[in-house]
A and B are shown apart, each in its own frame.
Chain A
Amino acid sequence: MISKKLDTSTTPKPRPLGRGTMRRSVSTLSIPQSLGRGSRRVDYKILFLCTALSCIGLICISSSTNPGLNSLLAGPKNNLVVKQVFWMVLALTMFSVSFIAGYQKFLDFAILFYILNFIFLSALLILAPVISGAQRWLTIWGLNFQPAEFAKLGLILVLVQYFITRQERIKEFKIFLAAFVLLAIYTFLIFQQPDLGSALILVPLFLVISVCAGIKKRYIIALLGLVIIFSPIFWMILKDYQRQRLLVFLNPNADPLGAGYTVIQSKIAIGSGGLFGKGWLKGSQSQFNFLPESHTDFIFALFCEEWGWLGAVVVILLYYFLIKRILRIAVLSHNRAAKLLAIAVATNLFSHVFTNIGMTLGILPVVGIPLPFISYGGSNLMVNMISLGMVASIAKDI
């Protein structure tokens, strides 16, 4: 079903990818198709957009860790810009690697990748009691990385590969059930960390991939129905403190000095930025540390405070162009697996951006979801750049 639709959208009336040369290349379908001038070249639009977003991230991280106004609180955070530059270099390298290797290699090793991530996630749970508190990090060669971030890529790859290799039997319930188990395993493991945000963000990813792969809609509707029916039972078997924790997750404003504090400070930061913002390094909410996590999950609030609504619109537009570009590649690709992969990457990107910004605006519960390319942190950046490398490698085959 999906393939039919995708085919009709590409072949009879191809939508141009861009202006000028691209329009020409698309119209001449007999020649090996390409996105830019000449084939087998990297997609500069994607590269430009993700680099631009990363540079905005660097500006925000440097502001968040700026010791100038508040020397008392310098110290631990002050070399984060350097670290992030290092991560960016590493991530660009990974982009190149995945671009050169091509998405098909990733799909070939999807099962292996899935199992490897499963081991990491399980290792976290086993090590968690040893290292106190919530455990989301593994330290390898002195670098912290988050298995949950890689799990998102792992799930994308395994689902795409699984659905593509079973294209003929895609309507069978068994297939859907098996895919659901693949999702459930990761969700459960990540939920146990506990990292509700990363666990739940896998769900829209699963839904979009399933629908686009051609899974019967009624299975998905039935699944959603089951979740709704069983949620009260699930709620009842939860322990009191777990319920409490969920309530705080769902309504942080109920507790303005506790969990809700962050959201309130975040809204103040964003709102006080106004149209033009307070200027770089001049956001009092972040400079005086009223805003927690201003270099990671709440970096968008810092950005809005210092750069205003105009800055925020620029960032949102950059994300939109990036997502649009990825989807355009999906449209133009002939390979069903590649299409599905690109759609999944775009969906993953969108759900992160939407959840993170929605969370800083207080319209979504505070769950630890980073803002792609901008939030400080290596794992998310690496995963995103690898994903974009794969998308770029799709483009070189068009």
Chain B
Amino acid sequence: MRIYFLEKFFLAGLLFLGLILWYYQIIKGPYFQRLSDNNRIRIVPIMPDRGDLLDREGRKIASEIPSFDLALIPQELKDTELVLEELSRMLDISLDETKRIYRKNILSPFAPVTIARNIPLEKIALIEEQKPDLAGVDLEINSRRFYPFGATAANLIGYLSEINTAELERLKPYGYRIKSLVGKSGLEKSLDVYLRGEPGGRQVEVDNRGNMVGVLGEKKAIAGKEIELTINMEWQNKAHQLITAHKGAILIMDPRDGQILVLESSPSFDPNLFVLGDIKKLRPILNSPKSPLLNRALKANFSPGSIFKLVVAIAGLETKKINPHSQFRCDGKLYLGKEEFKCWEEKGHGNQTLVDAIKHSCNIFFYKLGSELGYENIRNFAKILGLSENSGIGLQEESKGLIPNASWKYSVHREKWFEGDTLNLAIGQGFVLVSPIQILRLVAAIGNGGFLVKPYLVKNIAGTPVQEIKREFTGIKEENLNIVKEGMLRVVNNPDGTGNRARIEGLDIAAKTATVQTSKGTTHAWIAGFLPYQNPKLAFVVFLEHGGRGGVEAADICHALFSELKQDILNYK
């Protein structure tokens, strides 16, 4: 009996095991099957080549070039220590540094760990010779972003850098991994979605240590799209050379459709340094007090000064406060209560019409006109002409700037609006802030008969034209614009015009200069306009931050630039 009981007990025990096995293998089978697949299958992404950026003539602004990189495959290394020693000797990197790079970057036993990038050819030959002794060392030909023009247009093109956590979170579905490079600014950032392509992947089977034991399948990467820009790199390069000693920006746009030909911000930087990621060379850029990473063409941090008088002039004509023949008298100064407002010309300009006032950039004329208009009128026309709003160029570095009014002043400064504020606004001083690209749209709108254009940089993506030309009629009468244009023509072409130094025979440049008082340091210098006077083909802005006087330093750069480009400009469409 006892043995019989024992047998039944053993049978029950074994049945129990059979039931548990049934639960694991049949009921929970699919679940464990999935876990088992997760264990053994890994995806190794294959990163695609990034799309090239070309200028309007097909010159490569950013492209992929081969880079000879040296990598170690952990699972194939026999004597890691020895190999690292040998490599540090051959590559002239300290052993500690080599070890640090290796240890820090190991992801899995089968994934190559890049030790050095861009190895010069003579060293490659040296390593190739030694290769039989260096098991696990892999010379890879990877592609690397290269910017042949270096610092030229760098702020516009932007740069690539290692992905950060937030970006990784967002871009993970697209195959991005830790250490992937992504566009961090400029076009590299705003066009990233087109440029980055689609990563492929290799499905590999791994064992418990993550060693690769086989390849299950491979999906090829799809390269990013090639993008042709509206930029003319030759012009851009000239602009770069002229402004490189200053802080500021040079912009040239076709006022008829808004395509940007030049957009240069200074000081600039070499974006290639970011690709190579050499922190020693990057630190001076990142820490520079001149902020070379700031795109000054798009940042609305600057007072427009006398350029703003164009807005006031248009407002005056449009609201019929003045007509072409109306005159205001300038005695060199103006009193508002006890407060004294001066013209830059102490002797005064006497009686003048609007055209003369623009030519001379007379402050008193515009104080009086502004006073008659009131700040809300001025503000309305500033908005109509695109100030204090994004240009629509599609770069994320852009900021909107500010056209002040009473409620803004009260909400920010807890002060009421004084008449003096209106006078300051009328000559573009005080609170008003604009960006060079806003000024560019403003002068373009004056030049093209009152159309506010949306500037654009991309001509086509992978051969397909993408930009629909967008221009908005401001409603400003052409006859009024012609009066302002007349004034701007005289600024440059009359001997007593403020921008006379920019004059170039045969180009009929019309422009307005500005010399902006700043709270500290040298004045800002502006010159902005269009050419030729009749049916302008180009609108431009030269802006120098704390760079001197509009009629001198800015006008000189303008002159130098267009002299050099004269033939090109005459040939331009």
Stretch from A44-52, A250-258, A320-328 contacting the other chain: A320-328
Asked if B75 and A72 make an inter-chain contact with CB atoms under 8 angstroms apart, the answer reads yes
Stretch from B2-10, B271-279, B330-338, B487-495 contacting the other chain: B2-10
Instruction: Report the Cα distance A269→B1, complex, angstroms.
Output: 40
Q: Given known contacts A270-B32, A330-B3, is B18 in contact with A350 (CB within 8 Å)?
A: no
Asked if A284 and B21 make an inter-chain contact with CB atoms under 8 angstroms apart, the answer reads no
Closest to B22 in A: A309
Asked if A313 and B18 make an inter-chain contact with CB atoms under 8 angstroms apart, the answer reads yes
A279-321 vs B, CB cutoff 8 Å, 1 = contact: the mask equals 0000011001110000000000000100011001100100110
Asked if B31 and A271 make an inter-chain contact with CB atoms under 8 angstroms apart, the answer reads yes
Q: Which residues of A contact B17 (CB under 8 A)?
A: 316, 354, 357-358, 361
Residues of B in contact with A, size category: 35 or more
Asked if B7 and A327 make an inter-chain contact with CB atoms under 8 angstroms apart, the answer reads yes
- For the complex formed, measure the closest distance between the CB of B11 and the CB atoms of chain A, giving whole angstroms: 6
**A interface, over-half SS:** helix
Asked if B39 and A285 make an inter-chain contact with CB atoms under 8 angstroms apart, the answer reads yes
Closest to B2 in A: A5
Asked if B14 and A353 make an inter-chain contact with CB atoms under 8 angstroms apart, the answer reads yes
Q: Which residues of B contact A211 (CB under 8 A)?
A: 2
Closest to B41 in A: A284
- For the complex formed, measure the closest distance between the CB of B216 and the CB atoms of chain A, giving whole angstroms: 11
- For the complex formed, measure the closest distance between the CB of A5 and the CB atoms of chain B, giving whole angstroms: 5
Asked if B24 and A275 make an inter-chain contact with CB atoms under 8 angstroms apart, the answer reads no
Interface residues of B in 152-192 (CB under 8 A from A): none
Stretch from B200-208, B444-452, B508-516 contacting the other chain: B200-208
Most B C-beta atoms less than 10 A away, residue of A8, A211, A288, A363: A288
Asked if A354 and B24 make an inter-chain contact with CB atoms under 8 angstroms apart, the answer reads no
Asked if A343 and B21 make an inter-chain contact with CB atoms under 8 angstroms apart, the answer reads no
Instruction: Report the Cα distance A320→B8, complex, angstroms.
Output: 10
Q: Does B66 contact A (CB under 8 A)?
A: no
Asked if B1 and A267 make an inter-chain contact with CB atoms under 8 angstroms apart, the answer reads no
Q: Given known contacts A274-B25, A274-B26, is B14 in contact with A268 (CB within 8 Å)?
A: no
B270-297 vs A, CB cutoff 8 Å, 1 = contact: the mask equals 0000000000000000000000000000
Tell me which of A72, A272, A353 contacts B35 (CB under 8 A). A272
Instruction: Report the Cα distance A9→B1, complex, angstroms.
Output: 6
Q: Which residues of A contact B21 (CB under 8 A)?
A: 270, 304, 309, 312-313, 361
Closest to B75 in A: A72
Closest to A288 in B: B207
Q: Given known contacts A288-B213, A330-B3, is B39 in contact with A274 (CB within 8 Å)?
A: no
Q: Does B475 contact A (CB under 8 A)?
A: no
Q: Which residues of A contact B213 (CB under 8 A)?
A: 69-70, 72, 288
Number of interface residues of A (CB under 8 A): 51
Q: Given known contacts A6-B3, A346-B6, is B29 in contact with A72 (CB within 8 Å)?
A: no
Interface residues of A in 341-384 (CB under 8 A from B): 343, 346-347, 350, 353-354, 357-358, 361, 363
Asked if A320 and B1 make an inter-chain contact with CB atoms under 8 angstroms apart, the answer reads no
Q: Does A36 contact B (CB under 8 A)?
A: no
Instruction: Report the Cα distance A5→B1, complex, angstroms.
Output: 7
Interface residues of A in 53-75 (CB under 8 A from B): 69-70, 72-73
Most B C-beta atoms less than 10 A away, residue of A272, A313, A353: A272
Instruction: Report the Cα distance A304→B35, complex, angstroms.
Output: 16
B27-38 vs A, CB cutoff 8 Å, 1 = contact: the mask equals 011011101110
Tell me which of B20, B25, B208 contacts A308 (CB under 8 A). B25
Closest to B212 in A: A72
Closest to A356 in B: B17
Q: Which residues of A contact B2 (CB under 8 A)?
A: 2, 5-6, 211-212
Q: Does A208 contact B (CB under 8 A)?
A: yes
Instruction: Report the Cα distance A8→B3, complex, angstroms.
Output: 12
Instruction: Report the Cα distance A285→B38, complex, angstroms.
Output: 11
Instruction: Report the Cα distance A309→B21, complex, angstroms.
Output: 7
Asked if A288 and B208 make an inter-chain contact with CB atoms under 8 angstroms apart, the answer reads yes
Q: Given known contacts A289-B209, A313-B18, A354-B17, is B29 in contact with A272 (CB within 8 Å)?
A: yes
Closest to B29 in A: A274
Q: Which residues of A contact B26 (CB under 8 A)?
A: 274-275, 309
Most A C-beta atoms less than 10 A away, residue of B6, B13, B17, B205: B17
Q: Does A197 contact B (CB under 8 A)?
A: no
Tell me which of B13, B22, B31, B207 contacts A290 (CB under 8 A). B207
Asked if B206 and A271 make an inter-chain contact with CB atoms under 8 angstroms apart, the answer reads no
Asked if A290 and B208 make an inter-chain contact with CB atoms under 8 angstroms apart, the answer reads yes
- For the complex formed, measure the closest distance between the CB of A46 and the CB atoms of chain B, giving whole angstroms: 16
Q: Does B211 contact A (CB under 8 A)?
A: yes
Q: Which residues of A contact B6 (CB under 8 A)?
A: 208, 327, 343, 346-347
Q: Given known contacts A268-B39, A290-B40, is B20 in contact with A361 (CB within 8 Å)?
A: yes
Q: Which residues of A contact B40 (CB under 8 A)?
A: 284-285, 288, 290
Asked if B36 and A269 make an inter-chain contact with CB atoms under 8 angstroms apart, the answer reads yes
Interface residues of B in 31-56 (CB under 8 A from A): 31-33, 35-37, 39-40
Q: Given known contacts A288-B206, A288-B213, A316-B17, is B10 in contact with A350 (CB within 8 Å)?
A: yes
Instruction: Report the Cα distance A360→B3, complex, angstroms.
Output: 28
Q: Given known contacts A5-B2, A9-B1, A331-B3, is B33 in contact with A285 (CB within 8 Å)?
A: no
Instruction: Report the Cα distance A312→B439, complex, angstroms.
Output: 82
Q: Does A273 contact B (CB under 8 A)?
A: yes
A133-157 vs B, CB cutoff 8 Å, 1 = contact: the mask equals 0000000000000000000000000
Asked if A289 and B208 make an inter-chain contact with CB atoms under 8 angstroms apart, the answer reads yes
- For the complex formed, measure the closest distance between the CB of A56 and the CB atoms of chain B, giving whole angstroms: 16
Q: Which residues of A contact B33 (CB under 8 A)?
A: 271-272, 274
Q: Which residues of A contact B18 (CB under 8 A)?
A: 312-313, 316
Q: Given known contacts A275-B26, A320-B10, is B4 in contact with A70 (CB within 8 Å)?
A: no
Asked if B13 and A267 make an inter-chain contact with CB atoms under 8 angstroms apart, the answer reads no
Q: Which residues of B contact A265 (CB under 8 A)?
A: 39
Closest to A2 in B: B2
Instruction: Report the Cα distance A339→B1, complex, angstroms.
Output: 13
Q: Which residues of B contact A354 (CB under 8 A)?
A: 13-14, 17
- For the complex formed, measure the closest distance between the CB of A281 and the CB atoms of chain B, giving whole angstroms: 13
Q: Which residues of A contact B10 (CB under 8 A)?
A: 320, 323, 327, 346, 350
Closest to B31 in A: A271
Instruction: Report the Cα distance A270→B14, complex, angstroms.
Output: 16
Closest to B21 in A: A312
Q: Which residues of B contact A327 (CB under 8 A)?
A: 3, 6-7, 10
- For the complex formed, measure the closest distance between the CB of B130 and the CB atoms of chain A, giving whole angstroms: 24
Tell me which of B1, B13, B25, B206 contacts A273 (CB under 8 A). B25
- For the complex formed, measure the closest distance between the CB of A113 and the CB atoms of chain B, giving whole angstroms: 25
- For the complex formed, measure the closest distance between the CB of B29 and the CB atoms of chain A, giving whole angstroms: 4
Q: Given known contacts A284-B36, A323-B7, A343-B6, is B25 in contact with A271 (CB within 8 Å)?
A: yes
Q: Given known contacts A274-B25, A275-B26, is B36 in contact with A268 (CB within 8 Å)?
A: yes
Asked if B25 and A268 make an inter-chain contact with CB atoms under 8 angstroms apart, the answer reads no
Instruction: Report the Cα distance A369→B7, complex, angstroms.
Output: 22
Asked if B208 and A268 make an inter-chain contact with CB atoms under 8 angstroms apart, the answer reads no
Instruction: Report the Cα distance A310→B25, complex, angstroms.
Output: 10
Closest to B34 in A: A272
Instruction: Report the Cα distance A243→B35, complex, angstroms.
Output: 32
Q: Which residues of B contact A212 (CB under 8 A)?
A: 2
Q: Which residues of A contact B13 (CB under 8 A)?
A: 350, 354
Q: Which residues of B contact A357 (CB under 8 A)?
A: 17
Q: Which residues of A contact B37 (CB under 8 A)?
A: 284
A85-115 vs B, CB cutoff 8 Å, 1 = contact: the mask equals 0000000000000000000000000000000
Asked if A9 and B3 make an inter-chain contact with CB atoms under 8 angstroms apart, the answer reads yes
Name the 4 nearest CB pairs between A and B, nearest first: A271-B32, A288-B207, A272-B36, A289-B208
15 contacts between A and B (CB under 8 A): A5-B1, A6-B3, A73-B207, A265-B39, A267-B24, A268-B36, A274-B33, A284-B40, A285-B40, A304-B25, A309-B26, A316-B17, A319-B14, A324-B7, A343-B3
Given contacts A272-B36, A308-B25, list 5 more A-B pairs with CB under 8 A. A6-B3, A289-B208, A290-B208, A331-B3, A361-B24
- Name B residues whose Cβ lies closer than 8 Å to a Cβ of A: 1-4, 6-7, 10-11, 13-14, 17-18, 20-22, 24-26, 28-29, 31-33, 35-37, 39-40, 75, 205-209, 211, 213-214
